[in-house]
Chain A
Amino acid sequence: MSASNAKRGVSFYLLAAFFTLFVVFLYGPMLIIFVLSFQGETGGLTFPMRGTSLHWFSDLFSSSRYGDLAGGFRRSTGLGLMSMTITAVCCLFAGLAFRSRFWGSGTLFYLCIVSLVVPGILLGLGISQFFQILGFRLQWWLSGLGAHLSWTLPFGLLIMFAVLNRYDNAWDEAARDAGATPRQILGWVTVPILFPGLIAVALFGFTLSYDELPRSILTVGGKNTLPIEISNMTTNVTTPALYAIGTVTSFVSFAVIALAFGLIAFIQKRRARA
C-alpha cells in the first residue's frame, strides 16, 4: 500500500476530487432535506434550524392543507405493487423466450426498448388520448397502470437479460432428461434458480412506478398519485412539511430496497450454507 502511495500522480488526486464532488452532489441535497425536515415548529424552509421537532411530520398527517397525501400514497403503493407483479411475470417469460433467437426477435426487442427513449410526458399524452378515443375514462389503475408499464416492462426486460446471462440452459435439459414436464421444469428448476434475479426485477418494477411523475401527470385521471401530490406541494406549500414528505418517501423507498436485498441475501445464504 505504501509503495503505491509513493507513485500516486496528479491524475489520482484529480479523479479523487472529482469523485468526492460526485458523492457530495449525490447525497448532499438529500441530506439537507433530511435535516431540515426536523425543523422546529417556528422554523422555515431554510437554515438556520430553530430547534428540532417532529412537528412537520405530524402536521403532514393531521392537516388537510397538503392535499390528499394519504390517498396519493395508497394509490402509488397500489400502482407500484401492480406494476411490480406484472413486470416480474412478463419479464420472466419474455426473457426466457428471448433465449432462443426466433424470427424477428431483434426487431421485437428494439420495439420493446423504444418506450424507454420516448419522453415520458409525450407518451403520457398519447396514452391519455388513446384511452379517450377508445371510450375509457382515465383512471390511475387503468390508463395510469398502462403508462407505468411502458416504463417498467422494458427496464425489467433489460435486467432479466442480465439475470439470464448466468443461467445455464443445461439445467432445463437435465430436468427434461429426468422426465419433468415444461410446467415442472419452470416451477422446480427455472424459477427457483432465477428467484434472486426476479426479486431485483420486481424491485425495479415497484420503485420505477412508485416515483414516476412524467408518465403519470396526464394519465391518472381525477385522483393523483404521490409524486403528483408532492409536485403540487412544491408550488403551494411553504413550510418544512415539504421536507418531511421528502424524508418519508425516501425512507419508504430505502425500506423496500433493503427488504429486497435482505431477501436476496437470505436466499443465497441458505443455498450456500456450509
Chain B
Amino acid sequence: MTDTSKIDIRGVTKNYGDVRAVNEVDLVIEGGSYCCMIGPSGCGKTTLLRMIAGHETPSAGQILIGAEDMAHARTGNRGTALMFQNYALFPHLSLTDNVAFSLKVKGQPTAERREKAREMLDRVQLLHLADRVPSELSGGQQQRVALARALITNPRVLLLDEPLSALDEFLRLRMRVELKRLQNELGITFVHVTHTQPEAIALADQVVVMDHGTVEQAASPREIYDRPFSPYIARFMGGQNVLEARVTALNGEVGEATGANGVVYDVHDTAGLEMEQTIRLSIRRDKIAMKSADRPDRNAASGTVMNTEYQGTFVKVSLRTETGEEFIVYQDDAEFFANPSHVGETVNAHWDGALNHLLRGQNTSSGNPLEE
C-alpha cells in the first residue's frame, strides 16, 4: 500500500504566461504519510496540489505516484481524489447520488452504487440525511459528504485543498481530529493544503513550507518548528525570535556573533561561516528567562515592555529592544504573575546560548504570518 501511494515530484515547474507559480520543485511524499503544504496565498501550494490531481499540467518536470509517471494519466484515473475548498457538492443531486457519482461514471448499476454510497455515508454518520440535497446541510455535514465522495473510489492519495477553512473554530478542531483518525485508519497518503500553521503542525508527518513557488523546507513538524531553515520559516511558523548578528569569533568550540546592540550570541553550528559575515539566529520564545537583575551581555535581550497578553497557559510579553526590534517572550503564567512585568517597564531577558539556532537559508520575507 505505502509504495503505491508514494508521490515523487521531480523538477516540476508551472508557468501561467509570465508568472511562474511553481518553480522547479523536487519533493518526495512518503506513501501512507500525512503531508501538509503550507505557505502564504500565492506561494504555489494549491497549484502543486492541482498538478498532483491532474487538474493542471506541469510546464516542465515529472510527477510520479507509486513509481508510475502521471504525465499521461487522466484526472480521475490516477488513483487520486481531490476534496475541494468549498466542497463543490453537486447541488442537484441527493447526498447518495453525490457520493455515488464516480461509481456512475464507472458504469456501475444504480442499485449497486447507491448501496455503496449509503455505506459510505453511514461511515461519516450521515446515513439519516442520505436523501437530502447539499443545500440543506450545515458546513460540517457538507464537508463530511465531500470526504465520502472523495473516498468512495478507494484512492491511493487523498488531496485536500484547505479543507477546514470554511468551518468555524470549534468545528475546525473537531474535523482536524477526524481527518487524522481517518488517515490512520485508511493508511493512504493525505496531502493537505493549508495556510494555518497550528493545523499543519498538529496533523502532518511531513510539513512542506512553500514561498514564491519553491519549497523552502520539507521536514517533520518538529524539525520545522524547532530548527527552521530560514528567517522566513522561523517567522511564518511562529514561536521564534529572529536575531541578526555579525560573526566575531570562530576559534574555539563555540563561535560568537555580535548583535547591533553589542550583545554576544553563542553560535554552535559554525561550519562554513566566515568572520564578519552577517548571520541570523533564532531562539524559541518559550525558552527565555525574564527579569534578570543585571543586564547580561551574552545571549540576552533587553527592552521596554510594549504589551502583555494572557494566553491561558503562558503570558506573551512583547518587548521593544534598544535597536527598535520586536522581541517576544512566552513566559510561564505562574512565573509571570509571581513577578509581573508592566507596560513601559524596561526588562532584561536571557537564555541558554546552546539553544541558539543558526538560520542558514537567506529568505527573509515575512510571509504575512497569520498567527499574530
A interface vs B, CB < 8 Å? 168, 170-171, 173-180, 184, 188-189, 192-193, 195, 271-274
A170 near B92 with CB under 8 A, answer no
What are 16 A-B pairs at a CB distance below 8 A? A170-B86, A173-B82, A174-B82, A174-B90, A174-B149, A175-B105, A177-B53, A179-B75, A179-B106, A180-B101, A184-B105, A188-B101, A193-B92, A195-B92, A271-B92, A271-B133
Q: Shortest beta-carbon distance, B156 to chain A, in Å?
A: 14
B74 an interface residue at 8 Å Cβ cutoff? yes
Q: Shortest beta-carbon distance, B329 to chain A, in Å?
A: 44
A189 near B90 with CB under 8 A, answer yes
Within 8 A of A (CB), among B88-110: 88-92, 101-102, 104-106
Complex Cα distance, B90 from A195, in Å, reads 13
Complex Cα distance, B135 from A273, in Å, reads 10
| Inter-chain contacts of A177 with B (CB < 8 A) | 53, 55, 75-76, 80-82
Name B146's closest neighbour in chain A (CB-CB).
A174
| Inter-chain contacts of A180 with B (CB < 8 A) | 76, 101, 105
Residue from B91, B105, B132 in contact with A178 in the complex, judged by beta carbons closer than 8 Å: B105
Using A170-B86, A173-B84 as known contacts, say yes or no to A271 and B106 having CB atoms under 8 A apart. Answer: no
Complex Cα distance, B89 from A174, in Å, reads 8
| Inter-chain contacts of B86 with A (CB < 8 A) | 168, 170
Using A179-B76, A179-B106 as known contacts, say yes or no to A192 and B92 having CB atoms under 8 A apart. Answer: yes
| Inter-chain contacts of A173 with B (CB < 8 A) | 55, 82, 84, 88
The interface size of chain B toward A, counting residues with CB under 8 Å, comes to: 28
Name A173's closest neighbour in chain B (CB-CB).
B55
B84 near A170 with CB under 8 A, answer yes
Interface string of B37-76 (1 = CB under 8 A from A): 0000000000000000101000000000000000000111
B88 near A179 with CB under 8 A, answer no
B362 an interface residue at 8 Å Cβ cutoff? no
Residue from A174, A184, A188, A271 in contact with B88 in the complex, judged by beta carbons closer than 8 Å: A174
B136 near A178 with CB under 8 A, answer no
B91 near A271 with CB under 8 A, answer yes
B77 an interface residue at 8 Å Cβ cutoff? yes
| Inter-chain contacts of A272 with B (CB < 8 A) | 133, 135-136
A188 near B104 with CB under 8 A, answer yes
B88 near A171 with CB under 8 A, answer yes
Q: Shortest beta-carbon distance, B279 to chain A, in Å?
A: 46
B153 an interface residue at 8 Å Cβ cutoff? yes
A175 near B92 with CB under 8 A, answer no
B105 near A179 with CB under 8 A, answer yes
Most B Cβ at <10 Å: residue of A175, A177, A180, A184 = A177
A193 near B91 with CB under 8 A, answer yes
Interface string of B296-324 (1 = CB under 8 A from A): 00000000000000000000000000000
Using A271-B91, A274-B136 as known contacts, say yes or no to A178 and B84 having CB atoms under 8 A apart. Answer: no
Complex Cα distance, B86 from A170, in Å, reads 8
| Inter-chain contacts of A189 with B (CB < 8 A) | 90
A171 near B135 with CB under 8 A, answer no
Q: Shortest beta-carbon distance, B103 to chain A, in Å?
A: 9
| Inter-chain contacts of B55 with A (CB < 8 A) | 173, 176-177
A179 near B77 with CB under 8 A, answer yes
Q: Shortest beta-carbon distance, B93 to chain A, in Å?
A: 8
Name A172's closest neighbour in chain B (CB-CB).
B88
